[in-house]
Amino acid sequence: MRFEPVAPVRAYERVVEQIEEAVFSGRLKPGERLPSERELMTQFGVGRSTVREALRVLQAAEMIRSRPGDPRGPEVLAASPAALQRSMQRLARAEHLGLAELLQFRMTLDGSAHLLAAQLRTEDDLAELDTALTAMRTGAEAGFPEFSRADVAFHEIIARASGNPLLVISSEVVRGVVLELIEDKLAHARNRTSLMRSWLTHHADVLEAIRDADGGLAAQLVKHALYDNYAEYVPTEDHRLLTPLLD
């Protein structure tokens, strides 16, 4: 017979639990409001500092948002990958994750997303991808930020067509972390224009493959595209991490 170590339960933790439970169970829907801190403090029977620490934790988890002066109280937020993204960013910084690892991971995720998307895509998805591609073409002339937005949209449609929200979120998260790592290198206009041109042709090919329901090809294309466009920023000794994914 073995015993478990006991950990004292803090008051603010129990407050967090109750509010969390209310949100997860659906009793509190996004957009609805929590009672004010002073009201919560009487309902929970704790001091205001305890309530506030609980709200801070929930706010760090991106579950609520409070604004001073708003008489309606703290707002319950819709679930978002923002907290996940922050956790991953912190981990990437703390573990000193290199571009190679991130790129490897993104090639994996995007490859699978494309594979699945090619086999599960509907006609609506194809139409959306068409409009996203033309948006990229016009965006390329308007400037890098516009192009980038259209590019993100294209990727997101594919990830969504894969039927897996986790793929959508993870690619988005990793994409953000990667861009944060190399954004200074992308600052030069020369790199940008060649990058945009390259991505445009690649995306057209990918769309073709997805239309043909050729998942293997689509996955190949996107992995090669990522490699071709970003490998130059990866230390040469790390290339061996990437190449196995290309066959």
Partner DNA sequence: GGCGGTACACTGGTCTGACCAGTAACCTTC
Partner DNA sequence: GAAGGTTACTGGTCAGACCAGTGTACCGCC
Helix then strand then coil, % of the chain, to nearest 5: 75, 0, 25
DSSP state of 35: P
Among 131, 142, 165, 180, binds its own copies (CB under 8 A): 165
Nearest approach in angstroms of CB 141 to DNA is: 39
Total residues binding DNA (CB under 7 A): 27
Is residue 50 within the footprint of DNA (CB under 7 A)? yes
Q: Does 49 bind its own copies (CB under 8 A)?
A: yes
**x/- map, 71-100, DNA, by CB under 7 A:** xxxx--------------------------
Among 17, 24, 43, 47, binds DNA (CB under 7 A): 47
Residue 142 contacts its own copies per CB under 8 A: no
Count CB atoms within 10 A of the CB of residue 177.
Answer: 20
Return the H-helix or E-strand segment holding 75.
Answer: strand 75-76
Distance CA 215, CA 219 (A): 6
* Cα–Cα nearest to 28, from 79, 71, 67, 70: 79
**Interface region with its own copies, contact rule CB under 8 A, candidates 38-46, 95-103, 128-136, 228-236:** 95-103
- Interacting residue with its own copies among 11, 22, 46, 120 (CB under 8 A): 120
Instruction: Report the distance separating Cα 63 and Cα 218, nearest Å.
Output: 36
CA 183, CA 142: separation in Å to the nearest integer? 19
62 makes contact with DNA (CB under 7 A): no
Q: Token pair of 208, please?
A: 């073709």
Report if residue 29 touches DNA, rule: CB under 7 A: no
Among 28, 51, 63, 217, binds its own copies (CB under 8 A): 63
Pick from 28, 34, 99, 105 the residue near its own copies by CB under 8 A.
105
Q: Tokens at residue 201, please? A: 């042709």
Rounded distance, CA 36 to CA 70, Å? 9
Residue for token digits 């988890």? 61
Residue 162 interacting with DNA (CB under 7 A): no
CB under 8 Å to 135, separation ≥6 — which residues? 150, 153
Looking at residue 76, what DSSP letter applies? E
Are 179 and 102 contacting, i.e. CB atoms less than 8 angstroms apart?
no
**Residue 11 in contact with DNA, rule: CB under 7 A:** yes
Residues that bind its own copies (CB under 8 A): 12, 20, 23-24, 49, 52-53, 56-57, 60-61, 63, 79, 81, 83-84, 86-88, 90-91, 93-95, 97, 101-102, 104-105, 108-109, 111-112, 115-116, 119-120, 163-167, 169-170, 174, 215, 240-241, 244-245
Residues that bind DNA (CB under 7 A): 10-12, 34, 36-39, 41, 45-50, 52-53, 55, 66-74
